[in-house]
Amino acid sequence: MVAMAAQAYPQCSYDTLAVSNLVDSLSTNFPSICKKEVIGQTVLGREIVALKISDNVTLDENEPEILLEGCIHGDEQTGTWMLCNLARECCLQYNSNTQIQNLVNNREIWIVLIVNPDGYVGEPGWGPTRPNANHVDLNRDAGYMWTGYFGTSPGPFSQPESKVMRDFILSRNLNIMIDYHSGIQGIIYPWSYRGDPSPDHNEVQSLATDYRSVSGYPAGEFEVTSGYELYQTNGSLIEFAYGSLGIDAFTVELFSGFSGDGCIGMQYNRASMLMMIEKAGYGIQGAITDANTGQPIAAKISVQGKMPVYNSASIGDYHKFLKAGTYTVTFSANGYNSQTFNNIAVVDIGSNIVNVSGNDITVTGSASGAGNGYSLFCSATPDRTWTSLGNGTSTQSFEMGNLSNVRYVKVIHQ
């Protein structure tokens, strides 16, 4: 470890009462941006709670969603303590920190502080326990490629906590998910049940590498690896999220050993967590609706060579992280003709597009899919303040006019 400048976090550890009090305090004092949802109960009847942090927090908006969760293993509590401080910071600094305000305004941030409350409390004379009250390892209990290998799970989704998290994940439209643990120091991406690279290997490895790059961990002390390269795991929650729904899902191991300090964890991971919340909105996104009624329809979005994702059936939006490149994207829904779009360009928005003499942006398109016409919009910030650059057909170049630079581009097919 190296010494770091401490930031003022009031608590570095939280017992169950402190976690509950924090959740109630944030949702009560910041009701416009923070909402508490009880999403289920444990074996012993304890509540499993999710915090949603977003502007217009009571609405389901067309915004990228990310899930951060802690303590699926009850004795690995540092993730919970760190996420308590993240939730607190997002609420308290909303009006004073531009970065946090932009993220809260343009993302839907979900935080499940304790997935395994019974294990968090533990057993008399023993303390916190890795499994739940039925002595089942919840991170070997998820249904995707479940085998019972290296775990105590008697069957896929056998436990109430596993069912709660399954149903919650299925009810949302998540783009990124991070499950926080302790035991080693590193970030783990799929696959864990097999040694082959996942269809989104380039994307998840890139995100994991970026997580390490902006973190506060000393050089050489934070690993980036697929799960299988460490040890084979079947039935993990991140494997279900990725394998079933295409969510870019990660395990982050905060500290070597099962104990740690929530304040140090926050200092080491703060920039990484905020970066992942930001990158949940990178890649492709949009909304899928019926061409005649304008109503949202449930659909599958397939990017050639990648794991498909699914949109929100209630409002129609979809989001998939992709690295810069050109892609073929197919949209399909029951009862509708599939539509394929070729040459969909994803740009690297690590730097702004600067206005120079002549045309600045070229849209490369084809006539397949939804017709020839489209409208182009640009924005310098992610707050949806869009400036129209005009209409086009197929491949066409545009001049940015009075805009000095832009960072975000939106194309709407007509």
Is residue 39, in this structure, part of any structural domain at all? yes
Cα–Cα dist 114/101, whole Å: 25
Does residue 121 sit in the same domain as residue 147?
Answer: yes
Q: Are 289 and 275 members of one domain?
A: no
Residue 381 sits at the vertex; the CA angle it makes with 375 and 386, to the nearest 5 degrees, is 25
Question: Rounded to whole angstroms, how far apart are CA atoms 2 and 311?
Answer: 43
- Note whether 57 and 103 are same-domain residues: yes
Q: Got the DSSP string for 219-235? A: TTSSEEEEHHHH----S
Structure confidence at residue 8 (pLDDT): 61
Q: What is the CATH number of the domain that holds 322?
A: 2.60.40.1120
Closest CA to 380 of 407, 349, 410: 407
Residue 294 contacts by C-beta under 8 Å, 6 or more apart in sequence?
A: none
Do residues 260 and 307 share a domain? Answer: no
User: How many folded domains does the chain comprise?
Assistant: 3
Contacts (Cβ under 8 Å, ≥6 apart) of 253: 181, 182, 183, 184, 185, 186, 187, 188
Task: With respect to residue 5, please indicate whether it lies within any of the assigned structural domains.
Answer: no
Range of the domain at 231: 16-279
Is the pLDDT at 369 greater than 70, yes or no? no
Q: Provide the token pair at 87.
A: 């939730």
- The amino acid occupying position 306 is K
Residues 162 and 24 in one domain: yes
Over residues 150-209, the pLDDT tens digits come to 778 999 999 999 999 999 999 999 999 999 999 899 999 999 999 999 999 999 999 999
Q: What is the mean pLDDT of residues 276-298?
A: 94
- Asked whether residue 272 falls in the same domain as residue 376, the answer is no
- Neighbouring CB atoms inside 10 A of 366's CB total 13
Helices 262-279 and 98-106, axial angle in degrees (round to 10): 60
**CB of 262 closer than 8 Å to CB of 301:** no
Residue 2: inside a domain: no
Higher pLDDT, 85 or 358: 85
Residue 225 located in a structural domain: yes
What is the b/e burial string over 163-193, where b = at least 16 CB atoms within 10 angstroms of the residue's CB?
Answer: ebbbebbeebbbbbbbbbbbeebbbbbbbbb
**Sorting pLDDT into bands at 50, 70 and 90, what band is 367?**
very low
Q: Where are the alpha helices (DSSP H) in 30-157?
A: 78-92, 98-106, 117-121
Could you tell me the CA-to-CA distances from 261 to 1, 14, 264 in Å, in that order?
12, 10, 5
Please check whether residue 7 lies inside any domain of the structure: no
For residue 408, what pLDDT is reported? 73
- Residue 251: pLDDT band (50, 70, 90) is very high
Q: Are 66 and 90 in contact (CB under 8 A)?
A: no
* Exposure string over 102-135, b if 16+ CB within 10 A, otherwise e: ebbbbbbbbbbbbbbbbbbbeeeeeebbbbbbbe
Pairing, β 339-346 against β 361-363: unpaired
* Sheet with 408-413: strands ordered across: 387-393, 373-379, 408-413
- Tokens in use for 157? 């989704």
- Kindly state whether residue 10 falls inside one of the protein's structural domains: no
Q: Pick the last residue of a domain from 326, 342, 358.
A: 342
Region 76-100: what's the mean pLDDT? Answer: 96
The residue type found at 401 is G
* 242 lies in the same domain as 391: no
Q: For helices 262-279 and 201-214, what crossing angle results, to 10°? A: 140
Q: Of 358, 359, 364, 361, nearest to 349 (Cα)?
A: 361
Identify whether residues 134 and 25 lie together within a single domain. Answer: yes
Same domain, 249 and 103: yes
Same domain, 222 and 337: no
Looking at the domain assignment, is residue 4 inside a domain? no
3 state DSSP class of 345: strand
Q: Which of 250, 279, 308 is the last residue of a domain?
A: 279
Residue 317 lies inside a defined structural domain of this protein: yes
Query: Which residue type occupies 291?
Result: A
Choice among 69-73, 239-243, 404-408 with the minimum mean pLDDT: 404-408
**Domain match, 159 and 294 both:** no
What is the pLDDT at residue 374?
A: 84
Domain of 178, CATH number, reads 3.40.630.10
Domain check: are 238 and 108 in the same one?
yes
Least Cα distance to 26 among 14, 43, 44, 42 occurs for: 14
Least confident of 138-152, 159-173, 311-325: 138-152
Q: Is the pLDDT of residue 52 over 90?
A: yes
pLDDT tens per residue, range 211-229: 999 999 999 999 999 999 9
* In the predicted structure, residue 6 carries a pLDDT above the cut 70: no
